[in-house]
Amino acid sequence: ERTINCDNAKIMENFDNSENVEGAGNTAKAENEARSAEKYSVYSLYKNFVKYMTGFILVLLLMYYFVCESVLMESKQFKLNYIYKLNDEWSAITEQGMVPVKDIENVRFVMEENQTLNVCRVLPEITETTYLMFDSNENDVIVYVGNSVRNIYTTKKTQLTKTTSARKWIFVELKPSDSGKLVTVSFTTNDASSRGEVNGFYFGNLLSLIKYLVVEHMPSIIMALALIVIAIFVFLMCLVSRIGNMRPRGLKYLCLSALCIGFWMLNNSGIRQFFVQNVQAAENVSYLLGSIFIIPLLVFVDELQSLRYRYCYITFEIVTLLIVVVRAVMQIFSAATLLETLIISDITSSLVVAFIVAAMGIDLYKKHIREYLLPAIGLVLFVFSWIFEIASEFFGMTSDKMFFAISFLIMFVLTSVSYINKAKKNQARKIEIIRDYFLSKAKNKLN
């Protein structure tokens, strides 16, 4: 009887399953029919019409734009490519008379302190309002067109201390009536590193010249802003991790160093005059930030290496801080400009780099570098770029600091990832310890 009941139960179960399968099939069939009916409904046709019509209109607009840009170029209101170098046919005015210069770009004249360098040229034919643009190169500048003064640049009235005028792009407006006139540019500076040096002249309309400068310097601006934004974001993460008992020690100092480098690049940018009111103050700040960023960086590396070389790092931090103060005091009391004392900062940076390399070499030999392998990769790349930056300063090479900033950003990202992973592992370990504690306590109570 039990066997018969089991068989009856199985039969009923199979029957119910077959009913469920059949019901599911009917439901799916009904849904398919409903979708098919909806596909050909008025609402569905309306949605498809709107979708395809919108796409068709967008394609027409794109075609219209590209055709107009490539064929109807005369419809443009402004010329953005009217720019060329005006470096030929210049002459230097000396005591011996006019000395012709074949190509004045990057020419360096032998000048004495506070001696004025005058260069002149006959202006070409001008058909519309045009501008002459050139780099002041740490000089006070006066520009004459014919017998009239067209531009005067000096920062003597806008600086708190006596120093050379900051670098700035000079724009001289020229009218069609200035065609064939003699333009004379006077350069005066007491700085030996830029005395008698001319970096060339550019000729074109205002928009073309500004476009050239923006395109030339925009990558460094973007990189500086990226460093600042990421540093602020990671610093806020450090604060949150402290609240959550996850302590990425040293990372906040790297954030501070990144902020210093970001603002250093902004203030040292070739187009800083477009977003600051006082270029002299921006230049002074950039010179000091170029040394200050070393201090939080040393604190970070010291934390990274588990304070094994703490006394050496503390010594370098104190020396760097003293050098920043001494350079600022010398600038304030006109003993020497920040540009003239830049060599002291470069020597300090060289010693710091040498010690970081030596400390990493010792850690590699003793296998301590495994503790911070991922940040060490970024640190090696950054140190290499730092060496290149110092060498460029020593040999008078120009650098936009892009390689320096990119390598620092890579080190910053790698270090952040490493520290966050360590913080998560530490938090998980704490949770596991607490769980084991309560489990053992519960077992003791049961026993």
pLDDT in tens, the chain (447 residues): 444 444 444 444 444 444 444 444 556 555 565 555 555 566 667 667 777 787 788 888 888 777 766 665 554 444 556 788 888 889 888 777 788 888 888 778 877 777 788 999 999 998 888 999 999 888 889 999 998 999 999 887 777 666 678 889 999 999 999 999 999 999 887 666 667 788 889 999 998 899 899 988 899 899 999 999 999 998 888 877 654 444 556 888 999 999 999 999 998 888 888 888 888 888 888 889 999 999 999 999 998 898 899 999 999 999 999 999 999 898 888 788 888 888 899 999 999 999 999 999 999 999 999 888 999 999 999 999 999 888 887 776 666 788 899 999 999 999 888 887 877 777 778 888 888 777 887 777 776
**Helix (H) and strand (E) counts for the chain?**
10, 12
Q: Are 149 and 138 in contact (CB under 8 A)?
A: no
CA-CA distance, 18 to 127, in Å (whole number)? 92
Q: Residue 9 has what pLDDT?
A: 47
Distance of CA 430 to the CA centre of its chain: 38
Q: How many residues does the chain have?
A: 447
Residues 6+ apart with CB under 8 A from 420: 237, 241, 248
Task: Please tell me the distance from the alpha carbon of residue 390 to that of residue 382, in angstroms, as a whole number.
Answer: 12
* pLDDT for res 71: 64
Question: What does DSSP say about strands 97-101 and 90-94: parallel, antiparallel, or unpaired?
Answer: antiparallel
Query: pTM of this prediction?
Result: 0.76
- Report the alpha-carbon angle 327-340-186, nearest 5: 135
pLDDT of residue 246: 47
Distance CA 284, CA 14 (A): 88
Tokens 């053992």 appear where?
A: 440
- Six token digits for residue 297: 């960086």
Query: In the numeric block, which tokens belong to residue 4?
Result: 């018969």
Secondary structure of the chain: what % helix, strand, coil (to 5)? 60, 15, 25
Q: Which pLDDT score is estimated for 12? A: 47
Range list of β-strands (E), 37-109: 83-85, 90-94, 97-101, 107-108
* Cβ–Cβ < 8 Å for 21, 29: no
| pLDDT value at residue 21 | 43
Taking CA atoms, 349 is separated from 108, 289, 446, in Å, by 29, 13, 65
Q: Among residues 228, 322, 206, 338, which one has the least CA distance to residue 274?
A: 206
Q: How many angstroms separate the first and last alpha carbons of the chain?
A: 49
Distance CA 372, CA 417 (A): 11
- What are the beta bridge partners of residue 143? 151, 185
pLDDT at 24: 45
Q: What is the CA radius of gyration of the chain?
A: 35
Contact criterion met (CB below 8 Å) for 131 and 169? no
DSSP category for residue 115: P
Per-residue model confidence (pLDDT) at position 82: 75
User: CA-to-CA distance for 410 and 375, rounded, in angstroms?
Assistant: 9
Does residue 396 come out as left (phi exceeding 0), alpha (psi in the -120 to 50 range) or beta?
left
By the 8 A CB rule, do 425 and 247 touch?
no
